[in-house]
């Protein structure tokens, strides 16, 4: 049975052995690289690994160590409250919405901390999770520190999309890759961590997760089994009368939150990716084009204010377009 952690991020810790071997080999070397880029799909547990690795890095024999999120020598810039109203909620101890980006103020505060000595030992770790969310000015400020790091300071940058980072940041980091898991491993994780999910929901989650256990668990929470079936029908049958697109919209809900919209487009992207190689060259090119449009839509959803109904209809139209070559044939 896999370990299902309830800490942040909440994903099973599976498939990390190669990363641990590389990290610990570097720690035992005389000159450890000061900046690391942890790359791989979202939901592979990179953030959890970064915290555990940082804890090993800063630990001193004989000195009690606080948990990573409370450790004075592990610095983790956060996404601050979205506005003053949300900041008041945080002060009151209530749940609050955070900004989508890590602003430059967070990095400036971090840099000020780096001018002091570590508290409990000789080393300090900085975790940026995820580095993809750094504002442009924040990324530039971080770059200056990476170019001239303080002695004893090590950086762990978690990234789901390394292409979004400045090339100059990537070039200064040693890459630590986290590979996706196979479908069998994902299914076993769901059986252990989400036993309440039925076979339909699990099949949809496995198909959509693309090897990410965290994503699979999110999909199970969203209960995408019926949505998955409708998407498969759209590709197989088309939708000349808009009936299936209507069913798609009804299943996702009249006012879906951003997480459910994102889960739907990620599921559609995975369903389309599974079509690649099933037809001739012309169809494969069409599959690639549709997948590219879904990737574009997935990238825009977190920052654009889409009307949910329009986004779902666009997903449905893209899926239905793949049925046309089969009908012609």
The overall pTM is greater than 0.85: no
Query: What is the predicted pLDDT for the residue at 152?
Result: 96
Give the residue-averaged pLDDT of 254-272: 88
Q: Residue 301: is its pLDDT beyond 80?
A: no
Q: Residue 170: is its pLDDT beyond 90?
A: yes
Write out the two tokens for 42.
């979202």
Which CATH code is given to the segment(s) 224-328? 1.20.272
Nearest CA among 118, 115, 142 for reference residue 58: 118
Give the residue-averaged pLDDT of 293-308: 79
**Contacts of 43 by beta carbon, 8 Å cutoff, 6+ apart:** 9, 11, 209, 212, 213, 214, 215, 216, 217, 218
The 10s digit of each residue's pLDDT in 181-190 is 999 999 999 9
Query: What is the predicted pLDDT for the residue at 325?
Result: 47
CB atoms within 10 A of CB 55: 17
Which CATH code is given to the segment(s) 17-177? 3.40.50.300
Domain residue limits, the chain: 17-177, 224-328
More confident residue, 232 or 224: 232
Write out the two tokens for 233.
């029908």
Q: Residue 110: is its pLDDT beyond 50?
A: yes
Q: Residue 328: is its pLDDT beyond 50?
A: no
Q: Residue 302: is its pLDDT beyond 70?
A: no
More confident residue, 161 or 153: 153
The two domains 17-177 and 224-328 share their CATH topology (first three levels equal): no
Query: Using 50, 70 and 90 to split pLDDT, how confident is the model at 134?
Result: very high
More confident residue, 124 or 200: 124
Residue pair 48/7 in contact by the 8 Å Cβ criterion:
yes
Render the burial of 57-83: b for 16+ CB within 10 Å, e for the rest: bbeeeeeebeebeebebbbbbebbbee
Kindly report the backbone phi and psi dihedral angles of residue 84, in degrees, each rounded to the nearest multiple of 5, phi listed first.
Answer: -65, -35
More confident residue, 108 or 203: 108
Q: What percent of the chain has pLDDT over 70?
A: 93
Write out the two tokens for 100.
């989508």
Q: Count CA atoms within 13 Å of residue 189 on its CB side.
A: 30
Q: Residue 254: is its pLDDT beyond 80?
A: yes
DSSP one-letter string for 95-129 = ---B-SSB-HHHHHHHHHHHTSPPSSSS-EEEEET
Query: Using 50, 70 and 90 to split pLDDT, how confident is the model at 4?
Result: low
The Cα 160–Cα 251 span in angstroms is: 29
Query: Using 50, 70 and 90 to split pLDDT, how confident is the model at 105?
Result: very high
Q: Count CA atoms within 13 Å of residue 316 on its CB side.
A: 23
Q: Residue 8: is its pLDDT beyond 60?
A: no
Query: What is the predicted pLDDT for the residue at 9?
Result: 39
Give the residue-averaged pLDDT of 178-203: 89
Query: What is the predicted pLDDT for the residue at 112?
Result: 96
The Cα 275–Cα 258 span in angstroms is: 26
Query: Using 50, 70 and 90 to split pLDDT, how confident is the model at 3?
Result: low
Q: Residue 305: is its pLDDT beyond 80?
A: no
Write out the two tokens for 44.
């592979």
Nearest CA among 258, 251, 322, 248 for reference residue 284: 322
Write out the two tokens for 48.
């959890």
Residue pair 232/275 in contact by the 8 Å Cβ criterion:
no
The Cα 92–Cα 205 span in angstroms is: 36
Give the residue-averaged pLDDT of 217-224: 86
Write out the two tokens for 16.
């990390």
More confident residue, 247 or 87: 247
């Amino acid at each position: 049975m896999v370990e299902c952690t309830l800490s942040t991020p909440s994903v099973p810790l599976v498939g990390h052995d190669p990363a641990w071997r590389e990290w610990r080999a570097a720690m035992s070397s005389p000159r450890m690289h000061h900046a690391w880029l942890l790359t791989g799909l979202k939901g592979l547990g990179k953030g959890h690994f970064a915290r555990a690795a940082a804890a090993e890095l800063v630990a001193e024999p004989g000195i009690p160590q606080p948990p990573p999120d409370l450790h004075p020598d592990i610095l983790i810039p956060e996404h601050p409250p979205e506005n003053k109203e949300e900041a008041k909620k945080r002060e009151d101890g209530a749940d609050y919405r955070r900004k989508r980006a890590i602003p430059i103020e967070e990095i400036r505060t971090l840099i000020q901390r780096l001018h002091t000595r570590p508290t409990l030992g000789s080393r300090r770790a900085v975790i940026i999770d995820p580095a993809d969310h750094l504002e442009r000015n924040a990324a530039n400020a971080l770059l200056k520190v990476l170019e001239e790091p303080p002695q004893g300071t090590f950086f762990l940058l978690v990234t789901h999309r390394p292409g979004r980072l400045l090339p100059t940041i990537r070039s200064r980091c040693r890459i630590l890759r986290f590979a996706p898991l196979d479908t069998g491993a994902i299914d076993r994780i769901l059986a252990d961590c989400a036993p309440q999910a039925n076979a339909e929901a699990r099949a949809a989650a496995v198909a959509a997760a693309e090897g990410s256990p965290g994503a699979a668990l999110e999909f199970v929470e969203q209960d995408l089994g019926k949505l998955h079936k409708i998407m498969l029908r759209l590709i197989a049958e088309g939708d000349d009368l808009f009936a299936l697109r209507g069913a798609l919209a009804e299943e996702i809900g009249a006012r879906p939150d951003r997480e459910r919209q994102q889960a739907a487009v990620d599921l559609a992207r995975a369903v389309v990716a599974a079509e690649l190689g099933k037809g001739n060259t012309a169809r494969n090119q069409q599959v690639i084009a549709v997948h590219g449009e879904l990737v574009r839509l997935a990238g825009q959803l977190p920052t654009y204010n889409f009307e949910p109904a329009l986004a779902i209809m666009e997903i449905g139209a893209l899926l239905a377009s793949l049925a046309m070559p089969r009908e012609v044939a």
